[in-house]
Amino acid sequence: MITKVRDKVKKFLKETIDADGVRIVRVDKADGGWVAEADVAARNQYLTAIRPEYRVFEKEHYLVKLDVDYEVSSFKRIGDNEVSEEALNYGF
């Protein structure tokens, strides 16, 4: 089950935000579904717009919720030093 959650979250983030690398940090079962926290390597959009040959990446953090059928129901980006209320509710 956890492997399926990890695979779904990785695929979703790569397709949705065009992530170059996704590392699942934590997976937790919650409210009949799943919540995953992921570190994502994404290209710096500003530098890419100016000079496409520059390959500068930024590390971003995301929370992704999946329902009981392993479909993504919501996701949000959280800051590096930010501890979101939602993350606290799920034990992150």
Average pLDDT over residues 44-68: 87
Residue 42 has pLDDT above 70, yes or no: yes
53-75 mean pLDDT: 91
CA dist 92 and 32 (Å) reads 17
In the chain, what are the domain boundaries? 2-89
Q: What is the CATH number of domain 2-89?
A: 3.10.450
- Strand pairing of 33-43 and 57-66? antiparallel
The pLDDT score that the predictor gives to residue 44 is 82
Task: Tell me which residue of 48, 64, 50, 57 sits closest to 15, measured CA to CA.
Answer: 64
For the stretch 17-38, pLDDT in tens is 888 899 999 999 988 899 999 9
C-beta of residue 80 within 8 angstroms of C-beta of residue 58? no
